[in-house]
Amino acid sequence: MLPPESLDAALFYSRAQVYARCAFALQRDPNVAGAESLFDAALSNSLAVIVGSSWSGEEFRPKPGKDGKLKVLFSRELLDILASKARAQAVTPAGTALTAPQVRVDGIAAEWDVTGATATAVELTVTHFLDIPPEQLQPHRPEGPLGSAFRPFTPSHHIVRVDSAVLLDAIDIANGIRHGNDADGELEQRHLDALFALDAHPGLNRLLTAQIDATERDDIDADQLRVDLANDYLRLLTQDEIDRRVKAADWLAPDPFEDDGLQDCPLCGNCTLIPDGGSDSFGYNIRAGICFVCSYRRSREQAEQEAMSLRLDQLPD
């Protein structure tokens, strides 16, 4: 069972959104202009979530700033807190009442450098569920025979690896570039991967959604381009030429002897769309393909969108 929400939920949601937007921009284009600022914003917001959701309020400076508001610690300081928590084995005491976005820390461990003074990585084991008997908790998601998918749901721990040394290296590089100093190197994929790994925390966990949203937006843009091109092309065709193509399309159908070999084109309205891709997941047999008359290409995503619209139209008011 998920815990009830606290007054801090909106702040944590906002932090997680900033992390997801900035981290996804880097995931999409590691060389995007301002990558160092994106990295900085994503890291400070994600570490504020990780520290604040496990040790409430410790992500802030003890004294308020000039405007009377508490200030979030620098990323470097938040990493220090995680290291000190690992050294102290600061797990959440049994029986602690949680309110979202708080998470329970069931384990925290660190890897130390040769001096033993500096953590090079911290690994947290957390869960945001309440009242789970320890025997039901699983260290990793179940991997087994196909039948295991039908077992009752048992929430698993989230394992969050914080690569402190790599992130500290990235902070130095990003700071140098952001402030116009002589930076020592540039952000590399290993720095970005360390940032993306933080998404495993249940208080973050938004990168996949950001990817799906971006894919949908991309397809909408690409479809608009395909619509514009097809409309331009359609204007060049005479009615005689359209009629000729409608007849000829029959022989290009995957199965010319089946009535449903061709599909209606959503752009020109002729039954001349030659399917060459998968069908929608709603069972309407709306498929991706290309129209032999107007050249419009319906993508798999657009086929899915049409099917979803059809499904919504059929739902009772």
> Which residues form the interface with Zn ion (CB under 5 A)?
265, 267-268, 291, 293-294, 296
Residue 136 to residue 156: CA distance in whole angstroms? 8
CA proximity to 295, closest of 230, 250, 232:
230
**Paired residues of 82 in beta bridges:** none
| 212 vs 248, beta carbon nearer Zn ion | 248
| 12 vs 296, beta carbon nearer Zn ion | 296
| 167 vs 267, beta carbon nearer Zn ion | 267
* Kind plus residue range of the DSSP H or E element containing 122: strand 119-127
Residue 298 to residue 314: CA distance in whole angstroms? 22
Shortest separation between residue 221's beta carbon and Zn ion, angstroms: 20
Shortest separation between residue 217's beta carbon and Zn ion, angstroms: 24
| 38 vs 273, beta carbon nearer Zn ion | 273
Shortest separation between residue 223's beta carbon and Zn ion, angstroms: 14
| 39 vs 296, beta carbon nearer Zn ion | 296
Shortest separation between residue 263's beta carbon and Zn ion, angstroms: 10
For residue 226, what are the CA distances in angstroms to 71, 77, 237, 287, 297? 49, 50, 17, 16, 7
| 90 vs 242, beta carbon nearer Zn ion | 242
| 184 vs 264, beta carbon nearer Zn ion | 264
Residue 263 to residue 302: CA distance in whole angstroms? 14
Q: Which residues of 140-155 are buried (b: 16+ CB within 10 A; e: fewer)?
A: eeeeeeeeeeeeeeeb
Q: Which two tokens stand for residue 159?
A: 């394992």
Shortest separation between residue 204's beta carbon and Zn ion, angstroms: 44
Q: Which two tokens stand for residue 183?
A: 């930076």
CA 252 to chain centre: 40
Shortest separation between residue 246's beta carbon and Zn ion, angstroms: 10
Task: Judge whether 216 and 304 are in contact, CB under 8 Å.
Answer: no
Q: How many CA atoms lie within 13 A of 10 on its CB side?
A: 1
Shortest separation between residue 193's beta carbon and Zn ion, angstroms: 44
Q: How many CA atoms lie within 13 A of 239 on its CB side?
A: 0
Q: What angle do CA 127, 12, 41 make, to 5 degrees?
A: 110
